[in-house]
Chains A and B, each alone.
Chain A
Amino acid sequence: MRWIVVSCMLFAAPATWNSANASTEPCRLEGTTLLVQQADRLVIVDPATFAVRDTPLDPELVRRAAAMRQVLDEVIWRRWHVVRTADERVREITVFDSSDGSLVFDLSFSRRIELAASAVSPSHRFVIHVQANNVASEATILDAQSGDSRFATI
């Protein structure tokens, strides 16, 4: 069920896609936003209306943030250690407690659920297409003005 929720484009942070709730709630949860960051741009999509906002990022700041993330990974201890494995048939998520290595939970999804959605931004400049299943999620954003397409595996 988590991946159904994920497929509804609840939220994506750069390089991560977090499922928000293991329930049968509607796709739209209050306050959730699809964020796709690539290179020097941050594209913010409201999943309820598919309104798209394109925000330019300072490449120097993007580099600085990436370097700092690496430092944080080295010095900050995280309570949960998450292992994700996936092949064409099944996706597994295993969570360990970092303090003693004990298993917290182990989930696998053997049924593949496919969802796809497309939308055009209010300015008609961007087209976003999201293809999601319980193995992987992908978002493609086409910039009609420049002809560039941006692709993110989430």
Chain B
Amino acid sequence: MPLVVIAICLALVMSLTHVPPFETVFGPGYTTVATQGTYGIIIDERFATRFVNAREGVSFEMWTPSRDDISTAEELLRPYRPDDALDRRTRSEFDSPEEAVSRTWFGSIVDGERLLFVNGYCAGGLPAQPLIPIVVSDGGACYWNATIDATAWVIITYRESGEA
């Protein structure tokens, strides 16, 4: 009997202090990833080509980044995006990981090198149609993108939306 009471008490405490687990969620063609306090979606290589604007006559092989790839990339981006990681309290205000999403990740092989691309949006939230790229004209610093060499692990480009 005491064990039952303890179990009930534990369950009660856990329910009161419950924080959404933010575990990996799979969608059709993308995966939600949480790492380094930020939340993003990884676009499956089957759909990633939509996100890379290749010049006419140019085509790229795509690849699907792993959770470890994103974790390493977030580490590199931290000096550029020092305030993006959500703390536990902020996280608990979201009902689901989709609400905390602020990055779209996809991979491409360019000139034989594995590149990791990220589109960032500080407004947060999973795009309504995650597999369809959205073009933002201006939008301010809330929209940014970066390209990372996923072999040497160095940031190649980092841009925030500005004049165009």
Task: Give A residues with C-beta under 8 Å from B.
Answer: 2, 10-11, 13-14, 16, 18-22, 29-33, 35, 42, 44, 46, 53, 55, 58, 61-62, 64-65, 68-69, 71-72, 74-80, 82, 93, 95, 104
A10 and B111 CA atoms in complex are apart in Å by 34
Find chain A residues with CB under 8 A from B111 CB: 68, 71, 75
Find chain B residues with CB under 8 A from A42 CB: 79
**From residue A140, how far is it (CB to closest CB) to chain B in Å?**
21
Task: State whether A80 and B53 are in contact (beta carbons under 8 Å apart), knowing that A68-B115, A72-B147, A72-B156 are contacts in the complex.
Answer: no
Task: State whether A64 and B163 are in contact (beta carbons under 8 Å apart), knowing that A21-B141, A71-B110 are contacts in the complex.
Answer: no
Task: State whether A76 and B52 are in contact (beta carbons under 8 Å apart), knowing that A68-B156, A69-B157 are contacts in the complex.
Answer: yes
A136 and B131 CA atoms in complex are apart in Å by 39
A19 and B140 CA atoms in complex are apart in Å by 8
Interface size on B, residues (CB 8 A): 37
A69 contacts B52, CB within 8 Å? no
Task: Choose one: A44, A71, A80; the contact of B79 (CB below 8 Å).
Answer: A44
**From residue A21, how far is it (CB to closest CB) to chain B in Å?**
4
Task: Choose one: B54, B156, B160; the contact of A75 (CB below 8 Å).
Answer: B54
A21 and B110 CA atoms in complex are apart in Å by 32
**From residue A30, how far is it (CB to closest CB) to chain B in Å?**
6
B160 contacts A20, CB within 8 Å? yes
For this complex, 30 residue pairs linking A to B, each with C-beta atoms less than 8 Å apart, are A11-B162, A13-B157, A13-B158, A13-B160, A16-B159, A18-B141, A18-B159, A18-B160, A18-B163, A20-B141, A21-B140, A22-B138, A31-B81, A31-B83, A31-B122, A33-B80, A46-B82, A55-B79, A61-B154, A64-B152, A72-B110, A72-B156, A74-B55, A75-B55, A76-B52, A77-B54, A79-B53, A82-B163, A95-B163, A104-B137
